[in-house]
């Protein structure tokens, strides 16, 4: 890259209001980390928090920590920390289980709420494979027919529910959540959204757009750590009729009553199943501290500026849309022998990933990625290709 490009990157970094957030993460200066769309970086303070959890809360207080350390309420408390990031109200989001499990809960619940005469479940045709597997099983279990769906296509009187990824994991394409949700409702169907590649990267507006159900992982742009528990959102007016296909003692109205008959709890509690995974839950809760005082609108503005800057400096074909309204927070480039190219990039200190057969993926996490990172990544990529 030219000296002018490097100077421009330095100028942009100097004016970046989110630059201070970078110091909150454990990152080495020798590496450009552009894989936060797979696994977010470690916030610096989390190891100290986890030492306290393990040594004092678990090691000393032991069973008392369910009450005294707030373990029991962690799923709802952590959900309330995520809620404003995804445009949801308090009491609508619960944390626990994996994204796949939560997709199953949400989709089956949506099908159960729909008119029984509706016999089709739509799932976007390029969805993350697991979502497709879960949707096929949910449709089979409920006696419905699974239909591939291209986001934006019309829905009809046979549609019970539609499952869509907000951002396509391969291409980084941002789908029209407000428009598709409104179209589903106009057709008499319910909308379930997978936010894995948008939560923490851009405004979602679940409440504003009357989304029925949403799920998402927390280890990408929310930096919760490998395998950190996912979240489940249920629209407030659906909560009383939310019929989870996985009821458990943790979602019971009286969990310690140990009664043989199930009576669901109220609110977000209905999304719980079994004993929460406390260590990873509390690591996530602590990681969310980096969001204090940060607006998702500022994150989105920087994300678009970063990806614009990167796209200006690469020569490979981008399969990520140029239009801001259609772009998530990653750039996917088409490249022959993508696996070997990414391996060499990583060897030279630029960490992204690839998807078969020919896609290089670069995730831009605005809390810790800067313009100098984007400039360096583009320069190293050009060197590798040369």
- pLDDT digit string, tens, across residues 230-280: 999 999 999 999 999 999 999 999 999 999 999 999 988 999 999 999 999
List alpha helices for 210-294, DSSP H: 278-287
Over range 200-214, report the average pLDDT. Answer: 98
HSE-up (13 A, CA, CB side) for residue 46? 23
pTM of the full structure:
0.97
Name the catalytic one among 81, 158, 173, 220. 220
Exposed, middle or buried: residue 159 (CB in 10 Å: 0-12, 13-18, 19+)?
Answer: buried
Give yes or no for a contact between 330 and 303, defined as CB atoms under 8 angstroms apart. Answer: no
CA angle 12, 17, 23 (to 5 degrees): 100
128 catalytic per annotation: yes
Over range 291-316, report the average pLDDT. Answer: 97
Q: Binding-site residues, please? A: 99-100, 128-131, 194, 197, 219, 249, 275
Name the catalytic one among 35, 168, 194, 373. 194
Paired strand residues for 93: 233
**Domains by residue range for the chain, with CATH:** 3-44+295-385 (3.90.1150.10), 72-291 (3.40.640.10)
Q: Binding-site residues for pyridoxal 5'-phosphate, please? A: 99-100, 128-131, 194, 197, 219, 249, 275
Closest CA to 314 of 376, 370, 378: 378
Q: What is the mean pLDDT of the chain?
A: 97
The predicted structure's pLDDT at residue 3 = 83
Name the catalytic one among 104, 128, 221, 231. 128
354 catalytic per annotation: no
- Of all residues in the chain, the percent with pLDDT exceeding 90 is 98
pLDDT tens figures, 55-64: 999 999 999 9
Name the catalytic one among 105, 361, 362, 373. 361
221 catalytic per annotation: no
pLDDT tens figures, 183-199: 999 999 999 999 999 99
64 catalytic per annotation: no
194 catalytic per annotation: yes
Give yes or no for a contact between 341 and 385, defined as CB atoms under 8 angstroms apart. Answer: yes
Q: How far apart are CA 116 and CA 147, in angstroms?
A: 17
The predicted structure's pLDDT at residue 2 = 72
Whether 111 has a pLDDT exceeding 90, the answer reads yes
pLDDT tens figures, 346-371: 999 999 999 999 999 999 999 999 99
pLDDT tens figures, 74-105: 999 999 999 999 999 999 999 999 999 999 99
Confidence of residue 1 (pLDDT cuts 50, 70, 90): low
């Amino acid at each position: 890259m030219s000296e002018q490009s490097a100077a421009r990157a330095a100028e942009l970094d100097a004016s970046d209001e989110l630059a201070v957030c970078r110091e909150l993460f454990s990152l080495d200066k020798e590496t450009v980390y552009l894989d936060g769309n797979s696994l977010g970086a470690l916030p610096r303070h989390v190891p100290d928090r986890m030492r306290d959890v393990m040594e004092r809360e678990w090691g000393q207080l032991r069973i008392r920590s369910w009450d005294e350390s707030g373990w029991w309420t962690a799923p709802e408390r952590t959900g309330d920390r995520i809620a404003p990031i995804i445009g949801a109200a308090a009491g609508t989001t619960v944390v626990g289980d994996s994204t796949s499990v939560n997709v199953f809960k949400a989709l089956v619940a949506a099908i159960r709420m729909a008119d029984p005469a509706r016999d089709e479940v739509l799932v976007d045709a390029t969805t993350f494979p697991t979502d497709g597997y879960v949707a096929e099983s949910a449709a089979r279990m409920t006696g419905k027919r699974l239909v591939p769906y291209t986001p934006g296509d019309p829905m009809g009187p046979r549609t019970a529910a539609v499952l869509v990824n907000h951002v396509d994991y391969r291409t980084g394409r941002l789908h029209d959540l407000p428009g598709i949700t409104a179209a589903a409702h106009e057709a008499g169907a319910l909308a379930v959204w997978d936010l894995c590649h948008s939560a923490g990267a851009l405004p979602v507006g679940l409440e504003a757009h009357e989304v029925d159900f949403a799920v998402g992982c927390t280890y990408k742009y929310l930096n919760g750590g490998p395998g950190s528990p996912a979240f489940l959102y249920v629209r407030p007016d659906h909560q009383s009729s939310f019929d989870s296909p996985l009821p458990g003692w943790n979602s019971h109205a009286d969990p310690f009553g140990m009664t043989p008959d199930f009576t669901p709890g109220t609110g977000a509690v209905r999304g719980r199943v079994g004993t929460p995974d406390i260590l990873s839950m509390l690591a996530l809760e602590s990681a969310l501290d980096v969001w204090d005082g940060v607006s998702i609108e500022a994150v989105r503005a920087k994300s678009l500026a970063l990806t614009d800057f990167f796209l200006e400096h690469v020569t490979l074909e981008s399969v990520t849309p140029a239009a801001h309204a259609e772009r998530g927070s990653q750039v996917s480039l088409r490249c022959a022998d993508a696996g070997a190219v990414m391996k060499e990039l990583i060897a030279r200190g630029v960490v992204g990933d690839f998807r078969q057969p020919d896609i290089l993926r670069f995730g831009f996490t605005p809390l810790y990625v800067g313009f100098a990172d984007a400039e360096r990544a583009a320069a190293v990529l050009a060197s590798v290709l040369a």
